[in-house]
Amino acid sequence: MIYIFWTCRDLEEGRRVARHLLERKWIACASLIPHVESIYRWEGKIEQGNEVKAILKTKKELFATVRDYIIEHCSYEVPEICEVRVDQGNPAYLKWVLDELV
């Protein structure tokens, strides 16, 4: 199992993309954390803004598929999409995640 961390523009975008990923069984769950304040450097300037952090639960074999879908359907030019491996966890939860995927 892996988590995919993705930062998106707003809840509407996060919900739309998450629902499409769920319908395709490419993720088992999406946790959307609204009101994340981000401070970052972009095109030589320091920027600040509110975003939404998404934590997507899936398996390693689906990372590229999910990543490519997000890149194609999100509003950011260079979206944050990072894979974090889950080495241990509640065995029942890990099984549930994997059972929900294609």
pLDDT (tens digit, 9 = 90+) per residue, 44-91?
Answer: 999 999 999 999 999 999 999 999 999 999 999 999 999 999 999 999
Structural domain spans, the chain: 2-99
Residues 17-46 have a mean pLDDT of 98
Residues 39-43 have a mean pLDDT of 97
Architecture of domain 2-99: 2-Layer Sandwich (3.30)
Query: Is-contact 41 27, C-beta < 8 A?
Result: no
Residues 34-45 have a mean pLDDT of 97
The whole-angstrom separation of Cα 21 and Cα 66 is 7
Residues 8-36 have a mean pLDDT of 98
